[in-house]
Amino acid sequence: MIAIPGLPPGAARKGRAMMEGPAKAGVHASALCLVSLLLALAAATIPIVGFFFALLIPLPLIILFSTHGRAVVLLGTVALWAALAALLGGAVAWIVVVEFGLPAAVLAVARRRDWTPERSVAAGGLAMIAGSLLALLSLSWSVGSPIEYLADRVDRAIQDTTALYTKMGLSADEIGALTISGANARRLFIATAPGLLVAAALLTTFANYFMARAAVARASGDSGSGQGFAWTLPDWLVWLFIASAVLFLTGLPVIKEIGLNGLIVMVTLYFLQGLAIAAFWSRRLRLPPLVGILGAVLLLLQPLLVFLLAGVGLFDTWFVFRRQTLPGPPGA
């Protein structure tokens, strides 16, 4: 060890530790910002699959906001925005920071204040909805209303799909049927856009919150924080589900659409509840992690399982599927 002249060895070690601390924090923060930048670039450049990369953009930002001080967070956010503006343009940088940075900051504050998962996801989801609406307003500024902008994007997607199938040699009758199906899908998408926005915000916030909580707990060596998907909805929400179903079944044009959007949101919430129940029993039965991976793959391959889990979450209101009926490992 090289001693610093004029300082005792203990003071020298302390000085190096103090210098290594900020340097290590800077490297960690830079790595997190780089991951967010790469995810944003992948989301902007890779067709179809890029959507899934976009859903993970808040994850490194939540970890950044949760583990570093305000100065590092501010510097990292500015650096991320500058890099995005240089590579993708100022408009995209603004959208990423508002739509994903804002909910990440809210979730980090919720973690520091030790809010419940339900309250944290609700707050983060509201922040993501607000950010998405701001982004949509900025994108639709030159087109007209946000609905007109969404309709235009759907029309372009339908035209691209029709052109692709035309090049593949489909007959005129098949192209006509595809055009009719596209028009019906367009109407359905516009009608359910509010519910889909809320559902997407809830799912994105839920996934990023629990992944960030697990990552921070693992990095800090806090094994007691592995609570899994602790998620319990209040019983009174079942009345919102029933009311949405009644409105949908009326068949009246506007009221039916309101009920359908309500059902989309409620099915999403109860799907998360069903997912938490499945995770609970996976821990209680000490199933290997491979079972969870296979379950996630099945959810992607068979969307009807989403409704099955949503049904489990809904009936948990009456049957309480997470009773402590089986002996479990310590801390489960």
Mean pLDDT of 298-309: 86
The residue ranking higher by pLDDT, 168 or 116, is: 116
Higher pLDDT, 2 or 262: 262
Is 288 part of any domain? Answer: yes
Range with the lowest mean pLDDT among 30-34, 114-118, 179-183, 259-263? 179-183
Q: Is pLDDT larger for residue 247 or for residue 45?
A: 247
Question: Is residue 163 in a domain?
Answer: no
250 and 212 in a single domain? The answer is no
What pLDDT is attached to residue 197?
Answer: 93
C-alpha 96/C-alpha 93 separation (Å) is 5
Residue, of 74 and 273, whose pLDDT is higher: 273
Whether 245 maps to a domain, the answer reads yes
CA distance 220 to 217: 5
Residue 75 CB partners (closer than 8 Å, separation 6+): 29
- Whether 60 and 106 map to the same domain: the answer is yes
Number of other CB atoms surrounding residue 193 within 10 Å: 17
C-alpha to C-alpha distances, 17 to 10, 21, 22, 24, 58, nearest whole angstrom? 11, 6, 9, 10, 31
Same domain, 218 and 317: no
What is the value of pTM for the model shown? 0.82
Separation CA 262–CA 27 (nearest Å): 45
Among 210, 227, 244, residue at a domain's last position? 227
Query: Does 106 map to a domain?
Result: yes
Domain count, the chain: 2
Which range has the top average pLDDT, 7-11, 62-66, 90-94? 62-66
Range of the domain at 216: 24-145+192-227
The CATH number of whichever domain residue 97 belongs to comes to: 1.10.1760
Q: Are residues 294 and 208 in the same domain?
A: no
Q: Mark whether 212 and 278 lie in a shared domain.
A: no
Give the pLDDT of residue 289: 83
Digit-coded pLDDT (tens) for 176-235: 887 788 888 888 888 999 999 999 999 999 999 999 988 888 877 665 444 556 788 999
Is 218 in the same domain as 240?
no
Residue with tokens 């793959």: 297
303 shares a domain with 216:
no
